[in-house]
Amino acid sequence: MTPRQRLDAVRERIARACARCGRKPEEVTLVAVSKTHPAEAVLALHQAGQNLFGESYVQEALPKMEALAGQGLAWHFIGRLQKNKVKYIAGKFDLLHTIDSLELASIVHKKSAALGLVQPVLLQVNLAHEEQKAGCGPEDAEALARAIAGLDGLRLDGLMLMPPWDPDPEANRGLFAQARQLRDALARSLGLALPELSMGMSHDVEQAVEEGATLVRVGTDLFGQRPCAL
């Protein structure tokens, strides 16, 4: 399949899922996960009509972003963010999906504020309590969200969920619904809009959209299998 065919197929899946649950396709933003894929592949997908890309590794993302500067691309950081790497990415990404501690949030806040910027972020939640994954537990989400919202170098835009891997696309529907309910509860409690809910990948895009995702992170179905793992 060509990049355009892949992109059209994913967009069609999103549109059909939206139709089933009474949403509009424009309510869902596609993040093309370009980690481990070369700048040439990103450019090809961009030329097919995709403008927003997600990267997970600072050391890979920055050279790729520099190589594609001037192409009109937007970038999200969707991987685990190490505290010592924050200084390299301050002001370079439109959204950070993976803020999961007050310590990390404070570092991003300080770097952003020093540049006179307000960095949009998402709070990553670990609803399945997987020890090997980042993200705060639901029991800690309100206190952490409130603390993040109090940092003037940040703007809390919503939640990000990376549920357990399961080949059954229906397996995590309950967690998707739980994430939406938690986001809505936090919005009411904090008095914030919290418009974004980042969840769903190539194999479970439909389920995530049907449960309220506003950002879906799709890599394999847009780029094919990753050429390597960093």
Give the 3-state DSSP-derived string for 117-183, with helices as H, strands as E and coil as C.
CCEEEEEEECCCCCCCCCCECHHHHHHHHHHHHCCCCEEEEEEEECCCCCCCCCCCHHHHHHHHHHH
Q: Tell me which residue has tokens 């309510």.
A: 27
Q: Name the E strands within the chain.
A: 29-33, 52-55, 74-77, 95-99, 119-125, 154-161, 196-198, 215-218
Q: For residue 129, give the amino acid letter.
A: H
Q: What is the pLDDT of residue 229?
A: 47
Q: Residue 159's closest CA among 191, 137, 130?
A: 137
Output the CA angle 107-64-96, nearest 5 degrees.
Answer: 30
Q: What is the pLDDT of residue 227?
A: 60
Q: Give this prediction's pTM.
A: 0.96
> What tens-digit pLDDT sequence spans the chain (230 residues)?
999 999 999 999 999 999 999 999 999 999 999 999 999 999 999 999 999 999 999 999 999 999 999 999 999 999 999 999 999 999 999 999 999 999 999 999 999 999 999 999 999 999 998 888 889 999 999 999 999 999 999 999 999 999 999 999 999 999 999 999 999 999 999 999 999 999 999 999 999 999 999 999 999 999 987 665 44
Token pair for 4: 């355009």
Answer for the pair 64, 19: CB distance below 8 angstroms, yes or no.
no
Q: What is the pLDDT of residue 196?
A: 98
